[in-house]
């Protein structure tokens, strides 16, 4: 009797199992498979062991891409988190202004990623772009297609414009959860505006800010569409990030092996960072919220 009921449970788990298998495990295994073989054509494959991994790990262009990637993600966090918090602090707390600000903030988040790249490409082009023409008209040389620094500035501007609202919204949600009594008590206690921020607002925002850091790090770490559409990874390799490089590598048919090896390494780095953040988040949860 019991045995039969136990077995039936498998049917209920099966759909989830299949979905996970087809969406994650099987593709991943195929990548693993490709990373240890030399595949030069259909039916023509040789086992090469860790060959591709050695090649990829020793690849100078990969090192450069990784360095660029970390710089980019670091800058993203350094700029977007404080800026998002500042915006959240400046947002109205009640009245009609609330919905207007929320709407304006949500707009960049609703635009498809490749469209974002196109928008900023058009915006900054020195020949026809509003910003490009304006800056050059003012006598400031600005050309993201030619100068690496300008390309970086543009990519950063684009990401800040695109994603700071997310941080701001999260921070705002954290701020809204603070009961009014805290602000009143702080006034009675004679706290300065800085003390209110340091001892009330920041601690209460800590949970959501950890989530914001996690989301922004992961998203910026795997960024592809926007910079690809905006700069195509150039000029030169100056805005080639990890995923841009990965696609460049996999684009050449014969480089499937190294690309697969790189993809795995990339995946493991992302997983490791995710895990670190996850642990950090758990500590925040247990140590702080009552």
Which CB atom, from 8 or from 94, has the smaller least distance to other proteins? 94
How far is CA 254 from its chain centroid? 30
Binding-site member from 149, 187, 276, 285 for other proteins (CB under 8 A): 187
Using CB under 8 A, which residues numbered 201 to 220 contact other proteins?
Answer: 203-204
Pick left, alpha or beta for residue 190 (phi over 0 → left; psi -120 to 50 → alpha; otherwise beta): left
> Distances in Å between the alpha carbon of 249 and those of 38, 67, 211, 262, 280?
15, 17, 32, 9, 34
Q: Where are the alpha helices (DSSP H) in the chain?
A: 2-20, 26-35, 51-57, 60-90, 96-110, 113-124, 130-137, 148-176, 180-188, 193-196, 202-221, 225-231, 242-251, 256-287
Q: Applying CB under 8 A, which part among 52-60, 99-107, 188-196, 218-226 lies near other proteins? A: 188-196
Q: Are 230 and 158 in contact (CB under 8 A)?
A: yes
Note whether 182 binds other proteins by CB under 8 A: yes
CA 207, CA 288: separation in Å to the nearest integer? Answer: 8
Owner of token pair 């990637």? 69
Tokens (6 digits) for 19: 């979905």
Q: How many residues bind other proteins (CB under 8 A)?
A: 19
Binding-site member from 49, 58, 112, 190 for other proteins (CB under 8 A): 190
Q: Applying CB under 8 A, which part among 29-37, 54-62, 185-193, 225-233 lies near other proteins? A: 185-193
Which CB atom, from 33 or from 288, has the smaller least distance to other proteins? 288
Name the minimum Å distance from CB 177 to other proteins. Answer: 12
Name the minimum Å distance from CB 287 to other proteins. Answer: 8
- Range 277-282, long-range pairs (CB < 8 A, 24+ positions): 277/210, 277/213, 277/214, 277/217, 278/214, 280/210, 281/207, 281/210, 281/211, 281/214
Note whether 33 binds other proteins by CB under 8 A: no
Binding-site member from 188, 236, 251, 253 for other proteins (CB under 8 A): 188
Note whether 181 binds other proteins by CB under 8 A: yes
Question: What is residue 38's three-state secondary structure?
Answer: strand
Q: Applying CB under 8 A, which part among 91-99, 151-159, 160-168, 174-182 lies near other proteins? A: 174-182
Which CB atom, from 61 or from 93, has the smaller least distance to other proteins? 93
Note whether 97 binds other proteins by CB under 8 A: no
CA 227, CA 152: separation in Å to the nearest integer? Answer: 10
Note whether 192 binds other proteins by CB under 8 A: yes
Name the minimum Å distance from CB 191 to other proteins. Answer: 6
Q: Which of 117, 124, 106, 77 is nearest to 227 (CA)?
A: 117
Note whether 197 binds other proteins by CB under 8 A: no
Q: Which of 84, 68, 45 is nearest to 175 (CA)?
A: 84
Question: What is residue 234's three-state secondary structure?
Answer: coil
Q: Applying CB under 8 A, which part among 5-13, 163-171, 197-205, 218-226 lies near other proteins? A: 197-205
Using CB under 8 A, which residues numbered 102 to 121 contact other proteins?
Answer: none
Name the minimum Å distance from CB 281 to other proteins. Answer: 17
Binding-site member from 70, 102, 156, 191 for other proteins (CB under 8 A): 191
Chain residues binding other proteins by CB under 8 A are 179, 181-182, 184-192, 195, 199-200, 203-204, 288, 290
């Amino acid at each position: 009797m019991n045995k039969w009921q136990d077995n039936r449970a498998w049917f209920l788990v099966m759909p989830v199992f299949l979905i996970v298998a087809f969406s994650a495990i099987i593709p991943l295994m195929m990548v693993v498979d490709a990373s240890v073989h030399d595949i030069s054509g259909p039916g023509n494959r040789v086992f090469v062991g860790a060959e591709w991994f050695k090649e990829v790990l020793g690849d100078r262009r990969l090192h450069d891409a990784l360095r660029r990637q970390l710089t980019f993600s670091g800058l993203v966090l350094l700029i977007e988190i404080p800026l998002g918090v500042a915006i959240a602090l400046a947002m109205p707390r009640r009245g009609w202004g609330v919905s207007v600000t929320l709407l304006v903030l949500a707009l960049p988040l609703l635009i498809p990623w490749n469209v974002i790249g196109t928008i900023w490409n058009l915006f900054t082009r020195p020949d026809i772009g509003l910003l490009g023409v304006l800056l050059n008209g003012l006598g400031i040389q600005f050309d993201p297609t030619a100068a690496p620094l300008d390309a970086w500035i543009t990519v950063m501007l684009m990401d800040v414009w695109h994603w700071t609202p997310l941080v701001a919204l999260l921070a705002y949600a954290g701020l809204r959860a603070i009961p009014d009594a805290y602000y009143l008590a702080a006034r009675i206690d004679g706290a300065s505006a800085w003390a209110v921020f340091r001892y009330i607002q920041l601690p209460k925002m800590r949970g959501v800010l950890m989530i914001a850091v996690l989301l922004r790090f992961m998203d910026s770490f795997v960024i592809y569409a926007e910079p690809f559409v905006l700069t195509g990874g150039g000029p030169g390799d100056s805005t080639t990030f990890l995923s841009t490089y990965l696609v460049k590598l996999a684009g050449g048919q014969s480089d499937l092996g190294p690309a697969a090896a790189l993809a795995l390494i990339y995946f493991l780095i992302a997983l490791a960072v995710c895990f670190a953040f996850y642990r950090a988040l758990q500590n925040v949860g247990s140590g702080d919220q009552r």
